[in-house]
Chains A and B, each alone.
Chain A
Amino acid sequence: MRIRPVGMHALLLDCADPGDPSADVAGLVEAWRAELTARRERGELTATEIVPAAATVLLDGVPDPTAAARLIATWTPRTASAGGAAGLVEVPVTYDGADLPIVAQRWGTTVPAVVDRLARTEFRVAFCGFAPGFPYLTGLPADLALPRLPTPRPRVPAGSVALAGPYAGIYPSASPGGWLLVGRTGMVLFDVAGDPPARLTPGTRVRLVAT
């Protein structure tokens, strides 16, 4: 893990390891996210935002980043365990997405096998981004990564379950989108009256259960 400066009030913990392509970067990001969040709760770290992403954790709103970086360098995150404290959320999914045949072709298999694969995978929310409550779900092996559509759809309906890169994702609201559509759910993913407002927060384990 390398700590990079970001302006005057932020730090980026970079968990990528260019020398080791087999490193579990997403696992390390999750371990640091959990560690930093727990330390903040215990008053050992001051940060307005702790933002995990694909290979990094951003700390923003840090009063003294230099001192914080020195402190963090002395910490070791506990290894993220698949059965960690965060709960398991089962998302009911109707697998009727328009892009299932494309996914099957890319994976060299059939549509029913794609659905079976997705329904059997235990995902974890790696991070949220793109839109409030949009979860980037890790859990698929790297060799099943998919390119985005060459031209994004102008409108993807809310609840669409989709794949892109190494991730599965769920659109919390209707928006333009270039991910490959595999299904849909009626689950509400973002509700401003909820606490937290996002149904699937970073670290949450997720199953995309076929209905």
Chain B
Amino acid sequence: MTAGHQPAGEIEVLRAGALTTVQDLGRPGYAHLGVPRSGALDPAALRLANRLVGNPEAAAGLEITATGCTLRLTRAATVAVTGADAEIRVGARPGDVGRPLSVPAGAVLRIGPASRGVRNWLAVGGGVDVPPVLGSRATDTLSGLGPPPLRDGDRLPLGTPAGPPPPVDLTVGPPPRDELRLTLRLGPRDDWFTPAALDRLFGTAYTVSPLSNRIGARLAGAPLPRAVTGELPSEGVVLGAVQVPADGQPLIFLADHPTTGGYPVVGVVADVTPLAQARPGTTVRFHGPQR
């Protein structure tokens, strides 16, 4: 910090919760060096939270998982929470998901457990100002780049707010669903699977496994038998790639996915963001892009 700057405030982490990480829009452009993209699992939800508090859309916020978290701000700030349904309190005062909230200096901000869906994104006016790593402040749970997941007692620096938030009153996203219908385009390795496997993929329901995380959504259901046995030489993979390991159970790659993989990718899901709110047991059905 240069001389003369006032500290722009901090977030004190009173209760970190199950998994709370700093996230922004990730670090694209380094996949050829083995660096995952990372970033918010639902970038639109983080962008929205940032807009609600007057931040640039790419500012870093917090991604909060399932059990909520409790924070204190050392300076007054406008904050906004997007994503899952959750009870929010500023001190004793209730707040709403999707609405900007004024938090006085020293007040306690509680984001309760997700009552529907899994994840929330919190934006604070000025943004979370941890040092960027390769152009991003995102925590990458696969490679360990970026700040570690929050722990109780951590203090995170805040940036300086750009100006007053825009006059956005309330925004409502679509509620998390009990059944997801995901658009999937076959390839690049659908020819490694039997025709029966592709019928199963499009014709049967899968459920989200409790082993899912920021790296991938693991599915359980009808296994997808291979037409080609043997090992696929490692190849680059993309967000939404549906990789099928030896047990035949598909895995949909999310933001912290590895840059290369050694199992065939049967197809690619066009939009993975609904998976950010998919609880274990959620039903997933695939359909082709033509429907």
Cα distance A131–B259 when bound, in Å?
9
- Interface pair B28/A51, CB less than 8 Å apart: no
Taking the complex as formed, is B76 at the interface, i.e. its CB lies under 8 A from any CB of chain A?
A: no
- Interface pair A49/B33, CB less than 8 Å apart: no
- Interface pair A48/B28, CB less than 8 Å apart: yes
**In the complex, what's the smallest C-beta–C-beta distance from B193 to chain A, in angstroms?**
14
**In the complex, what's the smallest C-beta–C-beta distance from A56 to chain B, in angstroms?**
4
- Interface pair B236/A56, CB less than 8 Å apart: yes
- Interface pair B240/A202, CB less than 8 Å apart: no
* A133-175 CB contacts (< 8 Å) to partner B: 133-134, 136, 173
- Interface pair B32/A128, CB less than 8 Å apart: yes
**In the complex, what's the smallest C-beta–C-beta distance from A115 to chain B, in angstroms?**
27
> A7 and B34 in contact (CB under 8 A), knowing A55-B235, A58-B238?
no
Taking the complex as formed, is B174 at the interface, i.e. its CB lies under 8 A from any CB of chain A?
A: no
- Interface pair A129/B270, CB less than 8 Å apart: no
B260 touches which of A16, A51, A61, A197 (Cβ 8 Å): A51
- Interface pair A7/B258, CB less than 8 Å apart: no
- Interface pair B145/A51, CB less than 8 Å apart: no
**How would residues 122 to 136 of chain B score, 1 for a CB under 8 Å from any chain A CB and 0 otherwise?**
000000000001100
- B interface vs A, CB < 8 Å? 28-35, 133-134, 143-145, 185, 187-189, 233-238, 240-241, 258-260, 265, 268-270, 289
A-B pairs, top 6 by smallest CB distance, nearest first, are: A58-B236, A7-B268, A54-B233, A51-B236, A129-B260, A4-B188
29 contacts between A and B (CB under 8 A): A7-B268, A7-B270, A8-B270, A9-B238, A10-B238, A12-B236, A16-B233, A49-B29, A51-B31, A52-B236, A53-B236, A53-B260, A57-B236, A58-B235, A60-B236, A61-B28, A128-B33, A129-B34, A129-B258, A130-B258, A131-B34, A132-B143, A134-B34, A173-B144, A192-B134, A197-B33, A197-B35, A198-B33, A198-B34
- Beyond A12-B188, A58-B235, 6 extra complex contacts between A and B, CB < 8 Å: A4-B187, A7-B238, A58-B236, A129-B34, A129-B259, A197-B134
